[in-house]
Amino acid sequence: MNRSTGPPDGRADAAADGRTDSTPSGRPRRRDLLRSVGGAAAASFAGLGGCLGLGGGGTPDSITLGTLNVFPMMQWFVIEQQGWYDAALDVDVNVETFSGGPGVIQAFSSGEIDFAYVGISPGTIAIGKGVPAKVVAANVLEPNVMVADSRFRGYWDEHGEDAFRVFREEEGRKPTFATLPSGSTPDVFFRYWIEERLGLPLEEAVDVKRMGASALRSTLVAGEVDGGSVIEPIRTVLHGETDGMRTIRYAGDIMPGQPGAVLQPSQRLVDEHPDLVSSLVEQHVRATDFIHGNRERAADMASASVGEDVLPPEVARRAIRSDASTFVADPHEIVDKTLVYNDYHREIGKVDGDLSEDDVFDHSFYEELE
């Protein structure tokens, strides 16, 4: 496996076979169906993304993964540190690390990568804009956390959902909240909280500062804003390094079952190489099971993958025990709330199309493993 990074700040922005020949419902496996039709479906996607390195007979000798050094990609950290791709796959996996989900999707659109570990928000926006890809596994549920300093928490504790209005009236300014870049899952989730759950016009209620993960962490630690929409391990860092920022809402309080990150291969990879996608999903499920049984070891692997200077092992171990670290694999668990995201993406003008479950998801690979 070959790993490289994207922009220079990409690293700093971290933080038994048993298959049968049919799915549990008795349907033929997707891979068998594709073989039976001679790959006709794949031809329609030729040249629409992916950088498959092709060997003799059209067999890929390498594929490229786009990912982020952020905590919701825990399954990838385990797979990387365990060397499972090297052992299980007959292709080389090149790795490109990006500083944000929108960068991953741009690489998807331009054909630089073949599959991704990416946030559900940019991943779904990409599909809505016509990037041919499918979600085949989930990573994590309810990863977002809203934090605020002691001043805003005072307003929140006293006034609840009216805190933004009262703060503006009494402080003479809007509260300032920081989050990850526009289109990222924390950014869109924050918008959803303000506009859909609190019923407030975003621009009138709050000033939003969008930035990379390392800048977000330092900004919140320094108390330069009133609050933020964050993911682990930033929440853990804030609780451990500052007396100011504390949690005011978990994602489960705002959108129970909120989807976080996903495993998303290109449609070309799905159609032309379903056996390979099946192997990727198998390793993903294997990693999820490993996390459930070995949480601290998985946290140490995340630290080793990201870098102990950026994510110390003790911080990773605390973060993986938080309510924002519920790691899952079953894509069925995130369907409903992903479509809620799509509704919201349409309302804020990110996409035009109304996506269906079949537009976004291909459950067949996960179902084969049940």
Q: Tens of pLDDT along 186-242?
A: 998 999 999 999 999 999 999 999 998 889 989 999 999 999 999 999 999 998 766
pLDDT (tens digit per residue) in 173-182: 999 999 988 8
Query: Between residues 143 and 3, which one has the greater pLDDT?
Result: 143
Which long-range contacts link 190-194 to residues 24+ away (Cβ below 8 Å)? 190/144, 190/146, 190/229, 191/344, 191/348, 192/254, 192/255, 192/341, 192/344, 193/146, 193/229, 193/249, 193/254, 194/164
**Comparing 44 with 311, which gets the higher pLDDT?**
311
pTM of the model: 0.84
Q: How many CB atoms lie within 10 A of CB 171?
A: 13
> Is the pLDDT reported for residue 301 higher than 50?
yes
Rounded Cα distance, 288 and 327, in Å: 7
Average pLDDT over residues 116-141: 95
- Delineate the domains of the chain, giving CATH numbers in brackets: 2-141+259-369 (3.40.190.10), 145-254 (3.40.190.10)
Give yes or no for residue 39 having a pLDDT over 60.
Answer: no
Type of residue numbered 292:
H
Give the model's pLDDT for residue 242.
60
At position 46, the amino acid (one-letter code) is A
Residue with tokens 């993406």: 345
| CA nearest to 95, candidates 68, 132, 122 | 68
User: What is the distance between the alpha carbons of residues 247 and 235, in angstroms, rounded to a whole number?
Assistant: 8
